[in-house]
Amino acid sequence: MLYLKNLDYHPAASITPILKNINMELAPQQMGLIIGCSGSGKTTLLEILAGLAQCSTGEIYWRDQKLTSEHLQQLGGLVFQFPERHFCGGTILEELRLGHPELRPEQISSALEEVGLDHLPLHTSPQALSGGQQRRLALAVQLIRQPHLLMLDEPTAGLDWSMRKQLVNLLAKLKTHWSLLVVTHDASDLLSIADKCWTLNHGHLQSVDPAKLISTNQTEVASLK
Ligand SMILES: Nc1ncnc2c1ncn2[C@@H]1O[C@H](COP(=O)(O)OP(=O)(O)OP(=O)(O)O)[C@@H](O)[C@H]1O
Ligand SMILES: [Mg+2]
pLDDT at position 218 over 90: no
pLDDT, mean over the chain? 93
Sequence-ordered list of residues with C-beta below 8 angstroms from that of 36, at least 6 positions apart, any chain: 42, 183, 185, 199, 200, 201, 224
pLDDT at position 174 over 90: yes
CA distance 144 to 175: 15
Which pLDDT belongs to residue 212?
83
Asked whether the beta carbons of 223 and 204 are under 8 A apart, the reply is no
pLDDT at position 222 over 80: no
- 11 CB within 6 A, ligand 1: yes
> Residue 217 carries which DSSP code?
-
- 185 CB within 6 A, ligand 1: yes
CA 175 to ligand 1 centroid distance, Å: 27
Torsion-angle region of residue 18: left (phi > 0), alpha (psi -120 to 50) or beta? alpha
Q: Which atom of ligand 1 is nearest to the CA of 200?
A: 21
pLDDT tens-digit profile of 46-91? 999 999 999 999 999 999 999 999 999 999 999 999 999 999 999 9
CA 4 to ligand 1 centroid distance, Å: 19
Question: Domain residues of the chain, as ranges?
Answer: 2-82+148-222
Asked whether the beta carbons of 10 and 171 are under 8 A apart, the reply is no
CA 141 to ligand 2 centroid distance, Å: 20
CA distance 93 to 97: 6
Q: Which atom of ligand 1 is nearest to the CA of 37?
A: 25
pLDDT tens-digit profile of 117-161? 999 999 999 999 999 999 999 999 999 989 999 999 999 999 999
Asked whether the beta carbons of 100 and 144 are under 8 A apart, the reply is yes
- Tell me which residue of 66, 76, 134, 144 sits closest to 108, measured CA to CA: 144
The least confident of 18-22, 82-86, 212-216 is: 212-216
Q: Give nearest CA residue, ligand 1 atom 25.
A: 38
Which pLDDT belongs to residue 211?
84
pLDDT at position 14 over 80: yes
Q: Which ligand is nearest to the CA of 55?
A: 1
Q: Are strands 65-66 and 19-26 parallel, antiparallel or unpaired?
A: unpaired
Which pLDDT belongs to residue 224?
53
Q: Mutation test of ligand 1: which of 9, 34, 43 has the most ligand atoms closer than 8 Å to its C-beta?
A: 43
Q: Which ligand is nearest to the CA of 80?
A: 2
Higher pLDDT, 225 or 165: 165
Residue type for position 66: K
| Model confidence, pTM | 0.93
CA distance 194 to 33: 6
Domain 2-82+148-222 fold is Rossmann fold (3.40.50)
Residue type for position 52: L
Compute how many other C-beta atoms are within 10 angstroms of the C-beta atom of residue 129: 18
Buried b or exposed e, range 53-63, using 16+ CB within 10 angstroms: bebeebebebe
Q: How confident is the model at residue 39 (pLDDT cuts 50, 70, 90)?
A: very high
CA 200 to ligand 1 centroid distance, Å: 12
pLDDT tens-digit profile of 139-151? 999 999 899 999 9
Q: Mutation test of ligand 1: which of 8, 33, 42 has the most ligand atoms closer than 8 Å to its C-beta?
A: 42
Q: Give nearest CA residue, ligand 1 atom 3.
A: 13
